[in-house]
């Protein structure tokens, strides 16, 4: 049940809602939960949350010329230019606070192929959670 809670926490943290899954991950690790299952739950949930952002971006792009659209054409053009400047490889950084969630949304608006999107986002997020578990383990041994 705690693994599911961690996956849900990771999912919510990856969407545009302000949340964090790192504290729960480290807390569960300290309580003795299986590290690779923690890693799998956190990575899966967080990656799926980013997939929701991608899907929203894919669909919301259709409405960019509406008056109620929350982003101006200039802001959207700027985000697209930044994404094109750094390329799809920037999706490896989708785990970063503040920029990661909008990055996954822009990837949907720009129609990044889903398979490529998932591969890059999952790689970055899985490495982040592996490093967190490794650091938590080192801190517990100190």
Q: 19 is written with which tokens?
A: 């949340």
Burial class (CB in 10 A: 0-12, 13-18, 19+), 40: middle
Report if pTM > 0.85: yes
Domain positions in the chain are: 2-141
- Percentage of residues of the chain with pLDDT beyond 90: 63
Provide the pLDDT for residue 31: 95
pLDDT tens per residue, range 79-114: 778 788 888 999 999 999 888 888 898 899 889 999
Provide the pLDDT for residue 70: 67
């Amino acid at each position: 049940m705690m693994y599911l809670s961690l996956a849900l926490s990771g999912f919510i943290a990856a969407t545009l809602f302000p949340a964090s899954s790192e504290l729960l991950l480290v807390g569960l690790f300290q309580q003795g939960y299986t590290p690779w299952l923690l890693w799998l739950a956190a990575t899966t949930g967080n990656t799926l949350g980013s997939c929701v952002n991608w899907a929203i971006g894919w669909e919301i792009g259709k409405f960019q010329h509406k008056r109620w659209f929350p982003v101006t054409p200039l802001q959207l053009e700027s985000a697209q230019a930044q994404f094109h400047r750094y390329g799809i490889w920037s999706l490896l950084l989708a785990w970063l606070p503040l920029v990661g969630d909008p990055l996954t949304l822009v990837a949907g608006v720009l129609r990044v192929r889903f398979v490529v999107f998932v591969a890059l986002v999952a790689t970055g997020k899985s490495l982040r959670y592996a490093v967190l578990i490794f650091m938590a383990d080192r801190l517990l041994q100190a």
